[in-house]
Structure 1
Amino acid sequence: MAEVFCQRSLGHGGSGIVVEVGSSVTKVAPGDHVVMSFASCGQCENCRRGLGGYCPDLYGRNFSGARPDGSSPCCGTNGERLSGYFFAQSSFGDHALANERNVIKIRKDVPIELMGPLGCGIQTGAGAVINALKPGAGTSIAVFGAGSVGLAAIMAARVVGCATIIAVDLNQKRLDLAKELGATDAVQAGEGTGDAIRALTGGEGVQYSLECTGLPQVVRQAVDALRLTGVCGTIGVAPIGTEFTLDMNAILFGRSVRGIIEGDSIPDIFIPQLVELWRQGRFPFDRLVTRFPLSRIEEAAQASERGEVLKAILLPEQ
């Protein structure tokens, strides 16, 4: 897309209408409606295999605040470089600069202001189920953490036909919403979580679990909730260096744990699929969002931190 001034440096999961493209861009054209997702190099082995979330340069391209060469599209009044390329988009602004690889074209007959969250968190939760864990129809899954990512996973588990879908959280309102969105059961998080899950699954535990909190103690609970040969996916983000412990015998008897980034998604394929599921009423992620004007960005951040808002959408003011 064209190099336009980014008014704010942070922001990811944006959506909008293409204003201008570079001379070598062929994927989108001015007037296209797009969602902005994560960036990857497109050249490493993992990228070539459709696993851009595991690009070795994922951190550098998404979290450095600069282009791969260290430059930035933004500068201060005195010419100093400003961070302006967060998640390769910096979408907290009226305009954003993105890369051709992380711009996803979508159909024009859906509300563009709603689609931004598909670019990261919603894609992550739904993809963790649909693309990574791939539970079959009639299977069981427990989702630990009923925020926007966990609730997206719960909706996806209903889409693929899981028979037992257990939501685990401390917040009763979120558990109630999880039941509305597809969870068959809701469990209050705590010391008795594992016993409650086993009681709901005939004493065996679930075939799949998904940890969405980034808390070491919850990872342990998610693994301990598995039946023999069960699989736990971890998608919660924790500070670098965070460690968790497991009983080695829990893994020895066929259980496995795997990390999942961006739902193992190929955004150009998966995001349009989620849009279509939403159009059909099968993936109502709009139930998770609260809209704020961009001028109330601080209020939106505080409400999210307090747990009052699941997914805040910031709308540029005309």
Structure 2
Amino acid sequence: MITTTAAIVEEPGAPFTVHEVSVEDPRAGEVLVRMVAAGLCHTDLTVRAGGIPFRLPGILGHEGAGVVEQVGTGVTKVKPGDKVLLSFTSCGHCVACRDGHPAYCDTWLPSNLISGARDDGSPTVYRGRDPLGGHFFGQSSFARHALADERSVVRVDHDAPLEVLAPLGCGVQTGFGTVWNILDPAPGSTLAVFGAGAVGLAAIMAAAQLPLKAIFAIDRVPDRLDLATELGATHTLDVGWVDTAKTLMELTGGRGVDYTVDTTGNPGVLRTAVDTLAARGTCAIVGAPPGGTEVSLDVQGMLTGKKVVGVTLGDGEPETLLPQLVDLHRRGRLPLEKLVRYYPLEALDQAAQDMHQGTTIKPVVRF
């Protein structure tokens, strides 16, 4: 085992507190990573609040970036010294994985969220003699060392700026992949993104690469809307000042929007995202509210060919998508620096508060 430090959540609603922990040596198919950076995502906060089940006390974090220190038997994808990005895990064998859709792996929920342990039930990290919830998204990266599944790591070039690229593993992959992989908007179409946080802004950056007629950004934080414009939005709507549905219909000549993305997890916002669709339009749901959250829809309105699709992690295959995003960043087409603000591990609670208040878009822990 290796002794390191990690941010632990003791119970639902508790703050992050930093403790010394012991991380197991890598077994077959596992990789020990010395963390350089890790992004804070709304999913981490939903779990911390008790909205998503996970074994607590435990270690969260699922947007990691670091350097490989050890590999277990059978690992061929990376070697010690390699720089890697960390993303979700998957089995690699089920129908979804074989078809290139590991975000819908048969084992996704237990392996990434619920169990807090390896697939065989064994823990990966301890505090003293007591096992902790770990293996969060196959990594638990709010620690100076993370034991990750081989399928959770993606090797990047030796000069890759890990502190900037860390958010690719979840939030950016989700927003970008939703536009490119799922909606795939036709040239000349319109797209509206509800929520200009990290996921929403990633969706806007993805849309800005395409020949669309209009890209609408909807939020209540003026600074985020200003950044959305800088990143490619053609129109911004501040929900504190305008009627969103009415304004979108006016801006589209009464037709509605061809594609919408709801990143908020708010049922009322989702209803607006569906209501403002044009005939045969598609709404992608990527925001994750607590389990059991429901939304009502106008059935008559749906009969115009509207579609609603739920999306996990942009339906991305990390080994394929993340290198493409790294290359876009290298070429200046994915300016992640504009989203990121850095915090030490001990300031995770402040980072969460800043994200909630809208003063920080993407907090990143820098180790």
Interval of TM-score (by shorter of Structure 1 and Structure 2): over 0.9
Residue aligning to 2:150: 100
Residues 199, 100 of structure 1: CA spacing in aligned structure 2 closer, same or farther, 3 A cutoff? same
Match of 2:139 among 89, 111, 120: 89
Matched-pair contact (CA < 8 Å) for 2:164–2:336? no
Counterpart AA for 1:278: H
Match of 2:63 among 13, 32, 45: 13
For the 8 Å contact 1:25–1:100, the answer to whether it is kept is yes
The structure-2 alpha-carbon separation of the partners of 1:159 and 1:5, relative to structure 1 and needing over 3 Å to count, comes to farther
Task: Give the drift of 1:139.
Answer: 1.4
**Does the Cα contact within 8 Å between 1:143 and 1:153 map onto a contact in 2?**
yes
- Name the residue aligned to 1:293: 344
User: Runs ≥4 in structure 1, deviation > 4 angstroms?
Assistant: 3-6
1:297 CA drift (Å): 2.2
SS of the aligned residue for 2:291 comes to: coil
Amino acid aligned to 1:173: D
Paired residues of 1:6 and 1:90 also in contact (CA < 8 A): no
Following the alignment from structure 2 to structure 1, what is the Cα–Cα distance between the partners of residues 235 and 62? 32
CA contact (8 A) 1:5 1:74 kept: no
TM-score under structure 2 length normalisation:
0.83
Query: By percentage of residues, which structure has more strand?
Result: 2
- What is the aligned partner in structure 1 of residue 197 from structure 2? 147
**What residue number does 2:261 align with?**
210
| SS of alignment partner, residue 261 of structure 2 | strand
Contact preservation (8 Å) 2:217, 2:235: yes
Q: Give secondary structure in 2 for the equivalent of 1:34.
A: strand
**Residue by residue, what CA displacement relative to the aligned partner does 1:233-287 show, whole Å, maximum 9, x if unpaired?**
0000011111001100111111100000000101001001011111111111221
Aligned match of 1:71: 122
Letter of the structure 2 residue corresponding to residue 53 of structure 1: A
CA change 1:5–1:126 in 2 (3 A) is farther
Question: Is 1:224 matched up with 2:275?
Answer: yes
Please name the residue that 2:21 is paired with: none
Q: Distance in 1 between matches of 2:182 and 2:298?
A: 24
Change (3 A) 1:5 1:69: farther
Residue correspondence of structure 1 range 117-156 to structure 2 within 5 A: 117-156=167-206
- Pick closer, same or farther for the CA change 1:132–1:4 going to 2, 3 Å: farther
Tell me whether 1:197 sits opposite 2:197 in the alignment. no
* Cα 1:106–1:263 shift into 2, 3 Å: same
Task: Describe how 1:256-271 pairs up with structure 2 within 5 A.
Answer: 256-271=307-322
Deviations 1:125-152 (A, max 9, x none): 0100011111122211000011110000
**Could you give the per-residue CA deviations for residues 27-65 of structure 1, whole angstroms, max 9, x where no partner exists?**
111111110001111111111111111113212111132
Q: CA offset at residue 109 of structure 1?
A: 2.0
Give the whole-Å Cα distance in 2 for the aligned partners of 1:39 and 1:111: 23
- Deviations 1:76-108 (Å, cap 9, x if unpaired)? 32x221112212111112111100111011122
Matched residue, 1:43: 93
Between the aligned partners of 2:187 and 2:315, the Cα distance in structure 1 is 20
User: Aligned partners of 1:108, 1:251: CA distance in 2, in Å?
Assistant: 50
Output the CA distance in 2 between the equivalents of 1:70 and 1:312.
Answer: 31
Q: How far apart, CA to CA, are the structure 2 residues paired with 1:75 and 1:283?
A: 38
Q: Please give the alpha-carbon distance, in whole angstroms, between the structure 2 residues aligned to 1:46 and 1:230.
A: 26
Q: Distance in 2 between matches of 1:298 and 1:258?
A: 33
- Structure 2 unpaired stretches of 5+: 7-58
Report the 3-state secondary structure (helix = DSSP H, G, I; strand = E; otherwise coil) of the residue aligned with 2:305: coil
CA distance in 2, matches of 1:7, 1:87: 19
Structure 1 stretches of 5 or more lacking a match?
Answer: none
Cα separation, 2, equivalents of 1:276 and 1:102: 19
Question: In 2, Cα distance between the equivalents of 1:12 and 1:278?
Answer: 20
2:246 is equivalent to residue 184 of structure 1: no
Relative to structure 2, which stretch is displaced further, 254-263 or 37-46? 37-46
Alpha-carbon contact 2:193-2:218 (below 8 Å) kept = yes
The one-letter code matched in structure 2 to 1:202 is G
Of stretches 100-109 and 144-153 in structure 1, the one that deviates more from structure 2 is: 100-109
Counterpart contact for 2:329–2:336, Cα < 8 Å: yes
Distance in 2, matches of 1:280 and 1:21, equals: 32
Offset, 1:6: 5.8
The answer as to whether partners of 1:5 and 1:73 remain within 8 angstroms in 2 is no
| Alignment TM-score, normalising by the size of structure 1 | 0.95
Backbone CA RMSD of aligned residues: 1.4
% identity of equivalent residues = 47
Give the aligned length.
Answer: 313
- Contact kept in structure 2, 1:124 and 1:261, CA below 8 Å: yes
Q: Aligned-pair distance for 1:296?
A: 2.1
SS in structure 1 opposite 2:354?
helix
Q: Counterpart of 1:32?
A: 82
